[in-house]
Amino acid sequence: MDRWPKKIILCVDNSELSNLSIDVAETLASEFSSEIVGVHGYNAFMHEGAFRIMEPTLPEQYQREELLARQRELHNKLINIGMEKISLSYLRPLQERFGTKGIAFKPKVKEGKNFVALIQMIEEEDADLIVLGNAGFNSNFRGFVGSVCLRILRRINQDFLVIKSAINFDEAPRIVVCLDGSLTSIGALERAIKIAERTRSELHLVYVFDSKLHKDVFARLKDAVLMKEGFRFNKKEQEKMHDEFIDIGLEKVGRMILDRAEKTVLSGNVASKVAAVATLGYGPIGEPSGRPMIIKKILKGHIYRSICEYAEEIDAGLICIGKTGRHYTDQIDLGSVCENVVRFAHCSVLISKHEGYRGWEL
């Protein structure tokens, strides 16, 4: 993490979000002196299969097997050569564009099912950050995540920057950092600090707790209790104690996590450049002071929804979140909060790779 990211993989498909990804990768590479590897996967076999399906529709004079075999050979050769050239044409202009900025760039293409080819290239390059669009040429309605994006997120444990909208780093975008004390969320904080150092962005340190979930579970449990002889259950008193304990306890945990995160920021290289401001709940952000600020927010409600609503309310340019959280266990490839933030956030999302659920001992 001395210099992050040293190498960026940029997934390119010539779509609108792909073009926005290029802009973001260029800015980050310029700021961090990163190398960029531009990648694109093309699926020639899919076209070969489509040609086979259409063979019965050819005129009768082309239905002889020897002619069909020759057509298949010619078609397959043209498709393979042609699609490789098209793929390289997506990347070739970037060579000159990045070269003028002094950014090291390498184009790379591979034949295969799109997400499979991209995963293979990502694994070959061992980059620090993968930048890709939330969707390609398909629908980009709220809540939609393209299949390629989602499959890569699930299969690769690496830092990702999922582009959903433009990020104007020149205007010091507000950055929401999602914290639960896990090691992976600490990684998200570290990445956010790196960006804030260069862009003078506001860091909004956010902790969300959902006491309603605990209350609902408790309500169902108490209603299910069997009142056996000798067992007494004071519903109202127990319910009040439980609700107060949950609300106060979870909020206290949140304060400890955010205080620890604030100290982490202030103890680093940005200590002399950061002014700390602490607030609880939804409140005015205040006018920018010309310096980055830390704004601490404890939010109460459904976790992913609260994060997305808060980010939209403050018009954040970026959300930083861990791929997994404190509830991680084996077989989890992508945390549910992370996935739903990627789905429903109005802005782009930086995902820090899974590093374990044990983080700060509070």
Long-range contacts of 102-107 (CB under 8 A, 24+ apart): 102/30, 103/26, 103/29, 103/30, 103/34, 103/35, 103/36, 104/35, 104/36, 105/35, 105/36, 105/37, 105/38, 106/35, 106/36, 106/37, 106/38, 107/37, 107/38
Report how far residue 194's alpha carbon sits from residue 2's, in angstroms, rounded to the nearest whole number: 10
Of the ranges 51-55, 244-248, 296-300, which is most confident? 296-300
Q: Give the C-alpha distances (Å, rounded to integers) separating 140 from 10, 15, 18, 24, 346.
A: 20, 11, 13, 19, 11
Report how far residue 315's alpha carbon sits from residue 172's, in angstroms, rounded to the nearest whole number: 12
pLDDT bracket for residue 249 (50, 70, 90): confident
Q: Of 302, 150, 292, which is closest to residue 214 (Cα–Cα)?
A: 302
Mean pLDDT along residues 134-157: 90
Among 9-13, 172-176, 289-293, 316-320, whose mean pLDDT is lowest? 289-293
Q: DSSP class of residue 113?
A: S
Give the domain ranges of the chain: 1-163, 171-362
> Is domain 171-362 classified as CATH 3.40.50.300?
no
Asked if 138 contacts 109 with a C-beta cutoff of 8 angstroms, the reply is no
State the pLDDT at residue 44.
64
pLDDT bracket for residue 138 (50, 70, 90): confident
Report how far residue 293's alpha carbon sits from residue 291's, in angstroms, rounded to the nearest whole number: 6
Topology (CATH level 3) of domain 1-163:
Rossmann fold (3.40.50)
Quick one: CA torsion of 304, 310, 313, 317, rounded to 10 degrees?
Answer: -80
Mean pLDDT along residues 49-64: 61
pLDDT bracket for residue 315 (50, 70, 90): very high
Mean pLDDT along residues 81-99: 86
pTM of the model: 0.81
Instruction: Provide the residue type at 329 as one letter.
Output: T
The DSSP line for 171-228 is G---EEEE--S-HHHHHHHHHHHHHHHHH---EEEEEEE-HHHHHHHHHHHHHH----
pLDDT bracket for residue 361 (50, 70, 90): low
Do 1-163 and 171-362 share a fold? Answer: yes
pLDDT bracket for residue 244 (50, 70, 90): low
β pairing state of 129-133 and 159-163: parallel
pLDDT at 282 over 60: no
- b/e map of 111-122 (b: 16 or more CB within 10 Å)? ebebbbbbbebb
